[in-house]
A = this chain, B = another copy of it.
Amino acid sequence: MNTYSTIEEKLKELRYLLDKKSLIELKELLNRTNSMDIVEFIEDLPAEEALLVFRLLRKDDAREVFAELDSDDKEKLQEGLNDKEFKDLLDDLNFDDMIDTLEEMPAALVKDILQSTDSKTRKLVNEYLQFPEDSAASLMTTEFVELSPDMTVGESLKLIEEVGKDKVIVYTSYVTNKAKELLGYVSLRSMVTSDEDVKIKDLMFEDVISVRTTEDQEDVAHVFQKYGFTALPVVDKTGKLVGIITVDDIMWIIEQEATEDFQRIAATSPEEEDYSKMSPWELAKNRIPWLMFLMISGAFTSTILKNYEDVIQTVIALNMFIPMLTGSGGNAGSQASTLVIRAMATNDIKSKDWLKVLSKEMLVGLICGLVLGFVAFLKCYFFDKVSMDIALVVAFAILSIIIMAKSIGSILPIVAKRLGADPAIMASPLITTIVDSLGLIVYFKIAQLILPGLLI
């Protein structure tokens, strides 16, 4: 038995056997190791050793391991394999894994490989390579069991036994008519517990939920989450069944979509590559455009401060509270925008709810603003020992800035969505920049209203 905590030990044992060159024992242990653990093992090896280990794998394991490797590691192996070995490996892969592999390879090599396949496969591959990257079609596998309504359970089970390879979902079979249109589904369980001569159409559920090839992968993930499916059929625009999507791919999509939102919220360009694999240059390249845009937008604050230079010089005490005010405004706005962005990503709120969200956040802003304003007043008056007038200006400014920040932070992501953009671009850094400028104006206006002797 393998509990999760012993996997590290297994990897160490593999490493030890490899160093000792005990290839027979190594092969034997590899046979008893889950392919995903072998992937982890191979990823850390230099090219030569990786190839050695890869050649020790059983054919089935080799196929699974190769399909799961990163593009870098695939390249590492591919360079060591001869042409025939590599083409055999590609032929062994499930169709969708082959497509994924081809997508990652240089165009010239892909052309070379495709030339040696038959024209039917070539046509299909070319078709698949053209599906948009984030669509349902790009996630689907074409290897599934398709039954017709007039087949008997006995015939169906025989078919499943023949065509069902190890990795293909055979627990749900889809039923189609002659035109390949999806009619329903039938579970392996219901077949196993029925007589051999029962017709599929009598066992079939017609209430089958499917997605279109063009559906966005995020929406596909929501369908999986809502219904708790382990597989979902994909149909083209004419209703023909063209593939299925399995839940193991969806778990990655849920995580990847969240990661993209984190990246946008951090004001960097979204990137599929893992952080640990990106070079400083690539990271900087993704960050500089946003930093630059925000710095230039933030430069409005310089103009505002220049305009109010005489106010500051008349009451220099006002100046020292500026970072605290803009900081609090930024934080209040971040809270609202991040929560609204996340609630939209998880389908909890929709853009038609904008008025409900806005009024809720204004109320939240009022409550937070009153509490923080009161504390700020006490702090300015008793701790910083400024005059009561100035403490009042700071308190009212905090209150107004927080209400404003909550309103802007909640409404801008919804506006972005309405305009067809990703709500996550309206995240903390942009909200903070906007609130900084507006907050300064509010602050000086309040100062001019309350403090005597300042020109309005």
Contact = CB atoms under 8 A, between A and B. Distances in A.
A2 B210 contact: yes
A319 B312 contact: yes
A4 B215 contact: yes
A116 interface: no
B298 A327 contact: yes
Contact of A342 (B229, B262, B303, B321): B262
A140 interface: no
Contacts of A183: 1
A156 to B, nearest CB: 11
Given A171-B188, A342-B275, A360-B280, A436 B323 contact: yes
Interface stretch (A19-27, A80-88, A285-293, A444-452): A285-293
A363 interface: yes
B274 A36 contact: no
A339 B278 CA distance: 12
A309 interface: yes
Copies in the complex: 2
A69 B324 CA distance: 44
A350 to B, nearest CB: 9
A291 B3 contact: no
A6 to B, nearest CB: 10
Contact of A339 (B206, B229, B266): B266
Contacts of A114: none
Interface string A101-120: 00000000000000000000
14 contacts: A33-B207, A192-B192, A221-B251, A258-B258, A258-B262, A262-B265, A262-B341, A295-B324, A296-B375, A302-B384, A312-B319, A319-B319, A327-B433, A330-B330
Q: Which 7 pairs across A and B sit closest by C-beta, in order of nearness? A: A228-B248, A266-B338, A301-B323, A258-B258, A275-B343, A284-B367, A280-B363
Interface of A: 1-4, 32-34, 36, 157, 160-161, 164, 170-171, 181-184, 188-189, 192-193, 206-212, 215, 219, 221, 223-230, 235, 239, 247-248, 250-252, 254-255, 258-259, 261-263, 265-268, 274-276, 280-281, 283-284, 287-288, 290-292, 294-296, 298-299, 301-303, 305-306, 309, 312-313, 316, 319-324, 326-328, 330-332, 334-335, 337-343, 346, 348-349, 353, 360, 363-364, 367-368, 371-372, 375-376, 379, 384, 398, 402, 428-429, 432-433, 436, 440
